[in-house]
Amino acid sequence: MSEQATQRLTMAQAVITFLKNQYIERDGREQLFFAGCFGIFGHGNIAGIGQALQQMPEFRYYQARNEQAMVHSATAYAKTRNRLQTLACTSSIGPGATNMITGAATATINRLPVLLLPGDIFARRNVAPVLQQLESEHSQDISVNDCFKPVSRYWDRITRPEQLLTSLPAAMQVLTSPVETGAVTLALPQDVQTEAYMYPEAFFRKCVWHIPRNRPDRTALLSAVEAIRTSKRPMIVAGGGVIYAEATDILRQLVDQTGIPVGETMAGKGSLRYDHPLNLGAIGATGTFAANRIARDADLMIGIGTRYSDFTTSSKTAFQHPEVRFININVAEFDAFKHAALPLVGDARATLEELLSLLNDYTVDEGYCAQAMQLHDAWDDEVERIYSIRSEPLPSQGELIGAVNELSSPEAIMVCAAGSLPGDLHKVWRARHPKNYSLEYGYSCMGYEIAGGLGIKMAAPDRDVYVMVGDGSYLMMNSEIVTSIQEHYKLIIVLLDNDGFKSIGSLSRSLGQDGFGTRYVYPHNGVLPDDTVGAEARTLPVNLAANAHSLGAHVIECKTRADFSAALQEARGIDRTTVIYIRNDRYAGIPAYEGWWDVPVAEVSAMPQVESSRAQWTEMRAHERYFL
């Protein structure tokens, strides 16, 4: 080995010293890649990573309440920063580590970077089993951290301090790659974290990761232009990649130039402003009639930055033109090739720039464009209708969404993840900028909402952050209210209480199952009541408003729609996390608009209504297509 300057550090100190010197650059703009480290300490990390963080306060440590939550916060931070920045998350060994697995899956499925540093069992083994160790008779090389493997895009265990020298650069490559990014897990045995090693100083030099804007293959691009020119009814599906690539302006130019209408996925909503005449809004199972009608008859679908989840494709029933073909613009080959597409493998912005110049004399048929614009207007009227409903005695979810949309700053960010809200929001939320609508709908993870809101506020402190959350999700994880108070990151949490699962209740009824197991009520005659039980069903004495108050939030309890509007105004002036609590109607829903979602129904049942749901399902399934 050649002579080189070295620094004697513990393995944990080397991790933090390395991380604080990692930068990212895209389009000439350079910034730190890590905004700090979330963590909860235990014996598996306190003396290693904990000591290192204490020694290096410039790498900011944030104390979370729940390990799953801190991963959600970091992921939401990364989403808000278009994947150009994230946080690390340190946990102890055992339950602290496995609590992060749901967060890891959420990050990886949504293609968002997060670095997980779970503590691990002793590498030297002599004192095993350490507290919280999973023992195995057939291997001493197993720990609970092996469970991270399928939900991580890169996974490693650092059993010697010098392994960092090859592992950390590999971890960074994956984290910063728009194609590969997701959760990266480095399992850190608690003894090795504390061991010193002479690390080369070069390892800690400032390192800038360049994010390329790769351009697609020229031949494929020319074929795509030809396919667009010869299509009769082309349509764009705008996915999350449009927003992450900052391709929203060029998308608008392309749409203005060509007249091609746009439908938006959950992650892509906000790609165009809601009032752009060719934005047909949400597409798919939770789509608008405008987008779904145009998609049904389109002969060419141009997917941009979408992974075509079943919600986007209405479980493969959305595209019914017999000759429909796909062009997919995506950084990832994996997504670009879906639906037997003509793949344009490249950055969304760079690819759209090239397409725009090659299509500079092309427009769609006038009649087609006019039809799309009429549908846009008709959809806008439908949103207006839903916003104007005044349901009594309990308000409808649609009118409450309307109030939040209209009484929040147009610059605000609204965040949500699970329940009946995402589908309703996808349909009727009027997105006014690309970050206005922040849905975690890859994993639709109950409990993400408040934790995610915290990460968003940290990433965008100048914007108001509205967390929309149901009572079920709130009960699953409300802990980060405390962190938001501690760190002075104000959230406005809109808590909609409908005594259980409005979403799965309605799904259950559609399957002929009467909402069984979806209400928060006392058992009746020894069983939990379904929706066929009326007044006899007794609700639980749970007070979520008092719960939020006890965690330090300012709470505004509303009874009526008028109270709710007043609360939204008041909340903007409060200086700390504010929870607006309101009960809403379990049954007043926003309908489906020609979208579908495949949830298989029991093939045999003692319940006649299940049998008839099965018959309907069989009929719908027949519309599912393979694109070959």
Ligand X SMILES: Cc1ncc(C[n+]2csc(CCOP(=O)(O)OP(=O)(O)O)c2C)c(N)n1
Binding site residues, ligand X, CB under 6 A: 418-421, 444-447, 470-473, 498, 501-504
> Judged by CB, which is closer to ligand X: 502, or 554?
502
The one of ligand X, Mg ion, none whose footprint includes residue 242, by CB under 5 to 8 A per kind, is none
Regarding 51 and contact with Mg ion (CB under 5 A), the answer is no
Residue 74 host element (H or E): helix 67-80
CB of 155 to ligand X, least distance (A): 23
CB of 80 to ligand X, least distance (A): 22
Name the residue among 5, 59, 13 with its Cα closest to residue 168.
Answer: 13
- Which of 48, 452 has the CB closer to ligand X? 452
The DSSP code for 321 is -
* Contact predicate 401/425, CB 8 Å: yes
CB of 500 to Mg ion, least distance (A): 5
The residue among 103, 160, 348, 350 whose CA lies nearest residue 240 is 348
With a CB cutoff of 8 Å and minimum separation 6, the contacts of 210 are 25, 26
What is the Cα–Cα distance from 452 to 580, expressed in whole angstroms?
A: 18
Residue closer to ligand X (CB basis): 473 or 577: 473
**Residue closest to 215 by CA, chosen among 328, 331, 340:** 331
By the rule CB under 5 A, 498 interacts with Mg ion: yes
Q: Which stretch binds Mg ion (CB under 5 A): 130-138, 261-269, 498-506, 560-568?
A: 498-506
* 129 prior amide bond cis, ω within 30: yes
Question: Is the CB of 341 or the CB of 445 nearer to ligand X?
Answer: 445
Structure-token pair, residue 508: 């259950």
**Which partner from the list ligand X, Mg ion, none does 439 bind, CB cut-off 5 to 8 Å by kind?**
none
> Which of Mg ion, ligand X, none lies near 11, with the C-beta cut-off 5 to 8 A by kind?
none
CA 429 to chain centre: 16
Query: What are the tokens at 438?
Result: 């922040």
> Tell me, what amino acid is at 449?
E
**Shortest Cβ 103–ligand X spacing (Å):** 11
Q: Of the two residues 279 and 420, which places its CB atom closer to ligand X in the complex?
A: 420
- What is d(CA 254, CA 304) in angstroms, rounded to the nearest whole number? 12
In the complex, least distance from residue 471 CB atom to ligand X, rounded to whole angstroms: 4
Task: Indicate the residue among 42 and 422 with the shorter CB distance to Mg ion.
Answer: 422
The Cα–Cα gap between 471 and 416 comes to 13
The secondary structure of 148-195, three-state, reads HHHHCCEEEECCCHHHHHHHHHHHHHHHHCCCCCCEEEEEEECCHHHC
**Token pair belonging to 88:** 């690390």
Comparison of 337 and 520: residue with beta carbon closer to Mg ion: 520
10 binds, among Mg ion, ligand X, none (CB under 5 to 8 A by kind): none
Positions 468 through 497 that interact with Mg ion (CB under 5 A) = 470-472
Please tell me whether residue 449 binds Mg ion under the rule CB under 5 A: no
Which residues ranging from 138 to 197 are in contact with Mg ion (CB under 5 A)?
Answer: none
Q: Which does 182 bind (CB under 5 to 8 A by kind): ligand X, Mg ion, none?
A: none
Closer Cβ to Mg ion, 23 or 516, answer by number: 516
- Quote the least distance from Cβ 105 to ligand X, whole Å: 10
473, interface contact from Mg ion, ligand X, none, CB < 5-8 Å by kind: ligand X
- Minimum gap (Å) between residue 503 Cβ and Mg ion: 8
**Cα dihedral 26/448/60/204 (nearest 10):** -50
* Spatial contact of 146 and 157, defined as CB atoms under 8 Å apart: no
Considering the complex, what minimum distance in angstroms separates the CB of residue 418 from ligand X? 4
Rounded to the nearest 5 percent, the helix, strand and coil shares of the chain are: 40, 20, 45
Q: Closest CB to ligand X among 332 and 421?
A: 421
Site for Mg ion in 325-364 (CB under 5 A): none
Minimum CB separation from ligand X for residue 310, in Å? 14
Smallest distance, Å, CB 455 to ligand X?
18
Return the one option of Mg ion, ligand X, none that residue 237 interacts with (CB less than 5 to 8 A, by type). Answer: none
Nearer to ligand X, 454 or 494 (CB): 494
CA distances from 306 to 52, 236, 335, 348 (A): 40, 11, 7, 11
> Residue 97: in which H helix or E strand, if any?
helix 95-98
CB nearer Mg ion, residue 96 or residue 472: 472
Residue closest to 553 by CA, chosen among 483, 500, 497: 483
Least Å distance, CB 471 to Mg ion, is 4
